[in-house]
Amino acid sequence: MNRKVEIFDTTLRDGMQGLEINYSLEDKLEIASKLDDLGIDYIEGGFPLSNDKEAEFFRKIRSMNLRHARVASFGSTRKAGGSAESDGHIRALLDAETSTVVVVGKTWTEHVTRVIGTNLEENLRMIDDSISFLKKQGRVVIFDLEHFFDGWKGNAEYARKVLSAGMNAGADVMVLCDTNGGTLPHEVSEIYSTLKSEGYQRLGGHFHNDCGTAVANSLAAVNAGAMHIQGTVNGWGERCGNANLCEIMPNLTLKMDYEANCKPNMPHLTGLSRFVAEKANIIPDKRQAFVGVAAFSHKAGQHADVILKAPHLMEHLDGKLVGNSRQVLLSELAGKSTIIEKMRKYGDFGKNDEVVQVLIDELKSRENFGYEYEAAEGSFDLLMRKALGIYTPLVSLKNYHLESYKTATAQSNTVGRMFLDDSGTEVMGAAVGVGPVETLDGALRNALYPHYPDLKKIKLIDYRVRVLNPESASAAKVRVFITSSDGEHDWGTVGVNENIVEASWEALLDSFEYYLNNLNREPGE
């Protein structure tokens, strides 16, 4: 079987409805760029009418020149009784200036009459009018049939009319949406098969996970003829989430032999999953299929021996195919080739080079401690330099001392002082700030600016904290990620400690050291 399936990502639109999910504009742009790298076909960017941040996303993404993904804006059919041409929703879709627009329309009669309060005929006109108009404006039009499956169960004849209205108006894909997530795989198979046998074409699927079967529903839809599947990275979205693309893509391309543009990039899937988790500031599900930390873990004993001799007897898939690696046992090959790839900026290394093993050992012990280098390329670069013996320490700490205080009438405040050893010379800095991180940053700059004026270019542009072992309450380890920028490049650094102040200090110092080691002292890079 070699049928091709389109992958449509809605992490940045429907996924934003998820509990605790909140991406900044910068996050959204970075995620879009990673999705493009992976070979995702469509990236739904948001609902341009809803607020300025959404509209701004579409302005900014245009200048990013994505390599092949199509960016889509999302909106509903025109209002009842109006015309598409003069409708605010339709206007916002056009103003987003995307190649592709998604138009959502009602399919369930009860939603037509009770929620938007119009009649069934007018709803069909709204669909026809909106899609026809957008097609005339040269857009690729994706028609989301909201509540399709519930609508079908209530009144299949009307659901067919809605589908026909979309097809006849020229929509490029008709996406059957399980908006409430209550549909099961055997129902999906049956409904798509019926529709295909009746001649309906260009069908897509959009599933939610309220029965725990959104991935299976997506696979059932494709097996029964769907050519387009929507979902989100890590399956995050409203309620129990959307269909998880991190599970759908490898199932379709690596296990079911479908074609998709993302197929060659599946080895980057685990990286994408963790990158989005970092941006969402959500601890990724360790048990997630394919990309979870535990997905290729083995709990000791006699199995370990079998795994070395004949891994196919214990693993349904080679984790390397999705960029994941085997746990417990040292994943000699998977680990090394990734590391060698990363070290390429410093030369060509082979699997037997000692420095590669040294770096892997260091990395493993740090990852066990809680470090994560997926989004901390600055800190990882310093580890490589240390292993290669080309690391130049910026300074070494003699001590820092911070005081945070608050009274009933005055704002909280922090003062700090710091003593550093700069190649044998003592330098010191002091600062006042609202919190400890700003104060550490201020004192460090105060100490270093006279000697390293280039550091003035560095700005901290993001700061994130996550507790690693939340069960241990407030004394748990925390991991701090800092993103820094010199206006041209951004880089991430990481620190881990039980003390949030110390973890922040570690990430801060890594950021400054990375800058001076790379961007500044070696301009060729």
CA gap 383, 165 in Å, rounded = 59
Of residues 289-328, those binding a second copy (CB under 8 A): 289-290, 292-300, 306, 309-310, 313-317
Selected range binding a second copy among 79-87, 158-166, 338-346, 408-416, rule: CB under 8 A = 408-416
Of residues 19-48, those binding a second copy (CB under 8 A): 19-20, 22, 24, 26
Nearer Cβ to a second copy (128/285): 285
CA gap 99, 22 in Å, rounded = 25
424-to-382, 396, 398, 420, 421 alpha-carbon distances in Å: 22, 10, 11, 9, 6
Selected range binding a second copy among 57-65, 352-360, 384-392, 436-444, rule: CB under 8 A = 436-444
Q: Which amino acid is at 456?
A: K
Nearer Cβ to a second copy (204/292): 292
Of residues 135-154, those binding a second copy (CB under 8 A): 147, 150
What's the min distance (Å) between Cβ of 387 and a second copy?
23
What's the min distance (Å) between Cβ of 523 and a second copy?
25
What's the min distance (Å) between Cβ of 490 and a second copy?
11
Of residues 352-391, those binding a second copy (CB under 8 A): 372, 374-375
Figure out which of the listed residues 99, 119, 412, 423 binds a second copy, where binding follows CB under 8 A: 412
294-to-40, 128, 179, 289, 327 alpha-carbon distances in Å: 25, 48, 30, 9, 7
CA gap 380, 510 in Å, rounded = 10
Nearer Cβ to a second copy (100/232): 232
Exposure of 114 by Cβ count < 10 A (0-12 exposed, 13-18 middle, 19+ buried)?
A: exposed
What's the token pair of residue 432? 């006042």
Exposure of 424 by Cβ count < 10 A (0-12 exposed, 13-18 middle, 19+ buried)?
A: exposed
Yes or no: say if 369 and 496 are a contact pair by the CB < 8 Å rule.
yes
- Of 391, 376, 384, the closest CA to residue 344 belongs to 384
Coil, helix or strand for 222?
helix
Figure out which of the listed residues 346, 386, 467, 520 binds a second copy, where binding follows CB under 8 A: 467
DSSP at 113: I
DSSP code per residue over 247-284: HHHHIIIIIS--B-TTGGGGGGHHHHHHHHHHHHT---
What's the min distance (Å) between Cβ of 327 and a second copy?
8
What's the min distance (Å) between Cβ of 349 and a second copy?
24
Of residues 205-244, those binding a second copy (CB under 8 A): 209-213, 215-217, 219-220, 223, 235-236, 238-241, 244
Figure out which of the listed residues 76, 497, 517, 518 binds a second copy, where binding follows CB under 8 A: 497
Counting every residue written for the chain, the total comes to: 525
Figure out which of the listed residues 405, 424, 450, 487 binds a second copy, where binding follows CB under 8 A: 405
Of residues 61-80, those binding a second copy (CB under 8 A): none
Nearer Cβ to a second copy (134/188): 188
Q: Is the dihedral of CA 373, 379, 381, 387 positive or negative?
A: negative
Of residues 149-188, those binding a second copy (CB under 8 A): 150, 180-186
Figure out which of the listed residues 348, 354, 471, 488 binds a second copy, where binding follows CB under 8 A: 471
Nearer Cβ to a second copy (164/413): 413
Of residues 92-131, those binding a second copy (CB under 8 A): 108, 110-111, 114-115
Number of residues that bind a second copy (CB under 8 A): 125
What's the min distance (Å) between Cβ of 524 and a second copy?
28
CA gap 154, 169 in Å, rounded = 24
What's the min distance (Å) between Cβ of 227 and a second copy?
17
